[in-house]
Structure 1
Amino acid sequence: MTIEPGKLYLVPTPIGNLADMTYRAVEVLKGVDLILAEDTRTSGFLLKHYEIGTPAQSFHAHNEHKKVEEAIEKLKRGSSIAQISDAGTPGISDPGFLLVRAALANDIPVDSLPGATAFVPALIKSGFPSDRFVFEGFLPHKKGRQTRIEVMKEESRTAIYYESPHRLLKTLQQFKDILGDRNVSVSRELTKKFEETVTGSIEDVMAYFESKSIKGEFVIVLEGTK
């Protein structure tokens, strides 16, 4: 494929299984002048696997405000840039929004490739309605956390959350305390060797994970209110 100069490419990367990389994604990463990676060490494994030798620079939550202006200037001068996150699609609970907004404000073309996003397989596997849903991403750790959950009392759509292993049980307990013991589906390590999905009442799912060593990245799919 032809890489256009002065264009920003948003390239999804596998959420676990390296074989989920698309042909087009590999071609773009090989063809652009620069790759902006959330963590160059993490992305290094992927780039090496697909023999991608394009220079890569870090672009993450702690430096993206500073790096956006630099990237925009390179794009204006005709460089082609691809942005990737550690896993999944840039901009979905990962860096991406700020750069896209700045690119559009400067009339820089943006191409977002389709690809892996963790919440989609978790939603489909849950068996909950998927015709209408709300993606909540990560809950705040402290301020505003309870308020965000209380909003779901009247939400009839399926809701999707990302959660870390050490907060999983706390989050499920808060869901039960505030929303009642409705049904929930919890997926972990999607596309990886130890992929697992547990679906049932919040109480039953909590009991299951309380008896396990909780590891991996989690997606919580919460049934909407009846």
Structure 2
Amino acid sequence: MTNPILPLPEALLSGVDAAQFTPGLYLVATPIGNAADITLRALALLRRADLVACEDSRVTGPLLQRYGIKAHLLPYHEHNAAKVRPQLIEKLQGGAVVALVSDAGTPLINDPGYKLVKDCIAAGLHVTALPGASAVPTALCLSGLPSDRFLFAGFPPPKSAARRSWLAELKSVPATLVLLESAQRLADSLADMAAMLGAQREAAVARELTKKFEEVRRGGLGELAAHYAEHGPPKGEVTLVIGPPPAAAAPSDADLDAALAEAMARLPLRQAVDEVATLLGLSRKPVYARALELRDDGED
């Protein structure tokens, strides 16, 4: 069964002034699953655009057709970007309104477009974004994990050794991590994450976001790795959210004394105190007091 055409009601678009779309490049977010997750402004722009640069016309075409939009589509992806980019710049310099869309979600978020935007800015061309759907904040919000600070790290390397080195760099980042991963590599990737980040570290695997069979599976990395090793690859696109590392345990008195002894052996007292207080995350005053005690004991 084909999707019905949903023409754009003029009443709904009455608040979107077509005149606002001056010549330039427009980064237009498209749905990540549910076709209804597109803004009125995005639809109006796509109808007005002289050219729509897209990853795959077989994906963008049906979306536009669903809303009764006829547009000139030009494929723009990582394999033809070097050739097509100058053509787009020429169109923009000639006064065209050009929309850039990815297959799903917000352009440039792990999708082509960064170099085009950079070249447009360098050429003094108008660039703006029409915000909308993105798997990254959607999965983050549904994960139940801290969302006040997060790092989007894209896809992990496909090979285990490289992936483990990559994870080692992220292990101590004091923020929630958001990653993308292929369904086929998910179990192996989760196993490496459990080994490198800790089996108990909280995580969530989100798939088929905004679609009928949307699912968010939550648990420790070890638990999630075991689940997908047993049940096999899930269906659909996968976004992985990993909670921040647990807070480090407070340093013991022995840790403080050892750090001070090492620092005081090579630095003046005040510099040693500053270094140790920063290193151990302690207030300077008690560190300074302990340093004085150690110095005095050493002079007896």
Q: Is the deviation greater in 56-65 or in 142-151? A: 142-151
Structure with greater helix share of residues: 2
- Which whole-Å CA distance do the structure 2 matches of 1:213 and 1:100 have between them? 36
Paired position in structure 2 for 1:141:
158
Q: Percent of aligned positions with the same letter in both sequences?
A: 42
Query: Does 1:168 find its partner at 2:203?
Result: no
> Are 1:196 and 2:215 counterparts?
yes
Contact 2:184 2:233 in 1 (8 A): no
Corresponding position of 2:202: 183
1:132 maps to 2:149: yes
Amino acid at match of 1:214: P
Give the conservation status (yes or no) of the 8 Å contact 2:29–2:105.
yes
1:83 aligns to 2:100 (yes or no)? yes
- Once the 2 structures are TM-superposed, how far is the Cα of residue 18 of structure 1 from its aligned partner? 0.3
Pairwise mapping of residues 102-117 of structure 1 onto structure 2 (< 5 A)? 102-117=119-134
Structure 1 residue runs without a partner (length 5+): none
Q: 2: CA distance between counterparts of 1:207 and 1:172? A: 9
Select 2:227's aligned residue among 184, 208, 213.
Answer: 208
Aligned to 2:44: 27
Partner of 1:225: 245
**Aligned alpha-carbon RMSD (Å):** 1.4
CA contact (8 A) 2:202 2:219 kept: yes
Task: Provide the C-alpha distance between the structure 1 equivalents of 2:20 and 2:53, rounded to a whole number of angstroms.
Answer: 16
**What's the TM-score once normalised by structure 1's chain length?**
0.96
Report the equivalent of 1:151: 169
Q: Secondary structure at the match of 2:43?
A: helix
SS at structure 1 position matched to 2:118: helix
Deviations 1:131-185 (A, max 9, x none): 1111001122248432221012212210000111111111101101111111110
Q: Please point out which of 29, 52, 72 is paired with 1:12.
A: 29
User: 2:156 touches 2:166 (CA, 8 Å); kept in 1?
Assistant: yes
Write 1 or 2 for the structure with the bigger share of strand: 1
Kept after mapping to 2: 8 A contact 1:3/1:32: no
Number of aligned residue pairs: give it: 226
Moved more, 28-37 or 57-66: 57-66
SS at 2:185 equivalent: helix
Matched ranges for 1:60-71 at <5 A: 60-71=77-88
* Aligned-residue offset at 1:212: 4.9
Judge which range, 170-179 or 22-31, deviates more: 170-179
Q: 1-side partners of 2:55 and 2:233: how far apart?
A: 28
Report if the CA contact (8 A) 2:194-2:221 is conserved.
yes
| Structure 2 unmatched ranges of 5 or more | 1-16, 247-300
C-alpha separation in 2, matches of 1:144 and 1:80: 42
CA distance in structure 2 between the partners assigned to 1:79 and 1:153 by the alignment: 46
Matched residue SS, 1:220? strand
Equivalent position to 1:97, from 106, 111, 114: 114
